[in-house]
Amino acid sequence: MTATTDGSTGAVTPRAASASQPIDTTAAPAGARDAAARALQRSTEFLLSRQDAQGWWKGDLETNVTMDAEDLLLRQFLGIRDEHTTRAAALFIRGEQREDGTWATFYGGPGELSTTIEAYVALRLAGDRPEDAHMARASAWIRGQGGIAASRVFTRIWLALFGWWKWDDLPELPPELIYFPSWVPLNIYDFGCWARQTIVPLTIVSAKRPVRPAPFALDELHIDASDPRPATPLASVASWDGVFQRLDKALHVYHKVAPRRLREAAMNSAARWIIERQENDGCWGGIQPPAVYSIIALHLLGYDLEHPVLKAGLASLDRFAVWREDGARMIEACQSPVWDTCLATIALADAGLPADHPQLVKAADWMLGEQVVRPGDWSVRRPELTPGGWAFEFHNDNYPDIDDTAEVALALRRVAHPDKERVDNAIERGVRWTLGMQSKNGAWAAFDVDNTSPFPNRLPFCDFGEVIDPPSADVTAHVVEMLAVEGRSHDPRTRRGIAWLLAEQEPTGAWFGRWGVNYVYGTGSVVPALITAGLPASHPAIRRAVSWLESVQNDDGGWGEDLRSYRDRGWAGRGTSTASQTAWALLALLSAGERDATSVERAVTWLARTQRADGSWDEPYFTGTGFPWDFSINYHLYRQVFPLTALGRYVNGEPFADGPGRVPKGG
């Protein structure tokens, strides 16, 4: 079913349509504008019909099966695994296995060792036998890649919990880290917020070294089960790797002689830190991994499963589960309602929905209620800064982020809310907080200020994903755009951000995308921001960006970029066309004044041609990132909001075409 809207009332009425096939455009008007207008209407109706009654939007946040495997391992460790949950998780995990027996971390990606190991172990828990064909293919591939010994540290930690790996053969992480002041290297605030929320509970796990009875052996996943330890040669003492390897050896010695009272006090301090950061709904930071490790850590310290902290934590994990029609159960690593809602609001405003439309007003009401007005961990480095940001999730008052704050402010400016003073005050508070979170190089990171220490990434423990939060071009661009719309284009702080962006442009003309894939996302974020801030479309940086985008446009008219571009720049701008990435390129080209270009017409035609009958788009490819390459995300709403934004700007013009700081009529 799809829906049409009554613009006078905001009501929706169902209209039958098939969502299984793309629209037949053979009888459509020949012009790209007519095709865009038709696609725009259908997409608007689709998105309006997906709004929650409370005012928010949220698409599924799909990652990889390690979330599902670790959920089962947690339940096994706590003794609460049940058959219903196990069957549902196993159904999903089996469905994600590739023909060669492996599991990947993103759609169409290569098999990944640690992911395949964790998926294999989860299916063993579910009763799948090593001799089953799909399991035999997986174990043979795992051995061919070096077996468990070649997997990442986090995978071997999970295996150590059941005696499948030795704690002595894992890097050490002492709980005494909790006592390091913020000026000492490797203090917990040197880590990005997502890493620190995980590392603090893992210091307790590392100190306790628990082992639960293994329900089966995993000899088939070793090259040599009699001696599975990895052979890691010591690097030169003159290198950083050599220094940190020797530091880890020293910490293993310290583990054996650590003063008992000091260690217990450190673990108790870490536990207090964890409990103080539990959100009202029981989660930690609105993301699944810290919740899992926090529950294990507190349980090891004697908190039983009926304790209010653990009971709420376990209940929060259930809210990360997405149950599918076939009975499969997928675990989301996180949920993105604030991000999805502000992007949906911008998209609908660009599509031409009246600024006082009831559904936009309801969305604005919900976003206003989500503003974070108390200090969080960011205040360690900005203790005098007044709170005022927005977070990504339903519940995450400890870690508002700069990206969401910028986009929420942009979204609120597009709505004619009846309480204008409330909106103005909320945006002003968000602007002040954002300006206060500027890093010393003039740019902005996602969560923290100057979180750029080179040391955390050197730790042997940190062999997976980003563990620091340096400024990025995409976040900085969104902030610059927001500040320009707020009339602050000439603020010295905005100009510093612009200067940083110009200096960060790649020789090709593109910009790196930290939180979206990759150069198409970075370029699609930066160009509209620079234009909104007052750079002319004739500026050399803008022309280089336009040239690069046009040079990587696919033959079908769309744009795509594979995640391999994070490891190999030869993949930059290369990949199967997707709706979200095509929209990002379009947003850049439209803002640069290329509305009549052939490249734009071809892209608009591609979007119209590939739209489904219900107004949506298919997009199995992952175009979002948690950690570049290591942890990829398919935001299921990206395929809806970004094409709608791009089509809206193609049909209706740029939202701030009258000049920076000028809000569109009605907004």
Active site residues: 403
Q: What share of the chain is helix, strand, coil (3-state, %, to 5)?
A: 50, 5, 45
- Cα distances from 141 to residues 92, 111, 144, 544, in angstroms, run 21, 9, 5, 44
Q: Which pair of tokens denotes residue 64?
A: 């990889």
Chain-centre distance of CA 638, in angstroms?
12
Instruction: Identify the CA nearest to 310 among candidates 349, 341, 271.
Output: 271
**Residue 106, helix vs strand vs coil:** coil
DSSP secondary structure string for all residues of 271-334: HHHHHHTB-TTS-BTTBHHHHHHHHHHHHHTT--TTSHHHHHHHHHHHTTEEE-TTS-EEE-SB
Determine the residue type at 373.
V
Q: Which pair of tokens denotes residue 529?
A: 């921001």
Determine the angle formed by the axes of helices 337-350 and 32-49, rounding to 10 degrees.
140
Determine the residue type at 400.
P
Q: 118 Cβ partners below 8 Å, 6+ apart?
A: 65, 66, 69, 70, 73, 155, 158
**Residue 90, helix vs strand vs coil:** helix
516 neighbors 623 (Cβ within 8 angstroms): yes
Q: Which pair of tokens denotes residue 330?
A: 């997928």
Instruction: Identify the CA nearest to 526 among candidates 502, 550, 544.
Output: 502
> Residue length, the chain?
667
Instruction: Find tokens 């923290």 and name the residue.
Output: 448
Q: Which pair of tokens denotes residue 326?
A: 């076939």
Q: 658 Cβ partners below 8 Å, 6+ apart?
A: 664
Residue 112's Cβ-side half-sphere holds a number of Cα atoms within 13 Å equal to 22
**Residue 112, helix vs strand vs coil:** coil
201 neighbors 234 (Cβ within 8 angstroms): no
Give the CA diameter of the chain: 79
42 neighbors 615 (Cβ within 8 angstroms): yes
Q: Which pair of tokens denotes residue 22?
A: 């793309």
For residues 181 and 128, give the distance between their C-alpha atoms in angstroms, rounded to a whole number: 48
DSSP secondary structure string for all residues of 234-253: PPPTTSHHHHHHHHHHHHHH
For residues 527 and 513, give the distance between their C-alpha atoms in angstroms, rounded to a whole number: 13
620 neighbors 49 (Cβ within 8 angstroms): no
